[in-house]
Amino acid sequence: MNLARSLEDIHRLINRQWAIDSARLGISHSEFEYLRAVRDHETDRVCQDEHSQHLQDIVEVMGIRKASASAMIAKLEKRGFVKRVPCRLDARAQHILLTGKGSEALRAGEDVYRAAARALRAQIGGESLSRLEAALDTENANR
């Protein structure tokens, strides 16, 4: 089996896991990705006022259009997953931060990937997955 086919199989496994868990989670995979981007870059401190990124930073990190990001952040804010805090250095800008509810939803989404990893381990065997994990850890360390 080649790498492309293996990636396709892994992608399918994860999609199935999201389909199974999405009703319980209460968030879509896309919402999860936004919450992850907010959390992963909260500590970047792009401004001196001790808050995290602006919308433009999320756009750049995720490689998406600003209009799409704006709509999703508004949706996440309405649902109580994120909050916007005015930037003290730029009156036109707002920082985007996770709420407690957003952190809980993100953790639940991360559980989907842990479940997919368990299913993958059962499917391909622990030793093969351990070698893959070691290779990926090495690659991430070299970045």
Dump pLDDT digits (tens) for 32-66. Answer: 999 999 998 776 655 555 555 788 888 888 999 99
Q: With H, G, I as helix, E, B as strand and everything else as coil, classify residue 84.
A: strand
CA dihedral 14, 17, 21, 22 (to 10 degrees): 40
Domains of the chain, with CATH numbers? 3-137 (1.10.10.10)
What are the beta bridge partners of residue 94?
86
Whole-model pTM over 0.85: no
pLDDT value at 6 more than 90:
no
Length of the chain: 143
- How many CB atoms lie under 10 A from the CB of residue 47? 16
Structure tokens at 81: 């997953």
Closest Cα partner for 66 from 91, 24, 96, 42?
96
- Mind listing the pLDDT tens digit for each residue in 132-143? 777 777 776 776
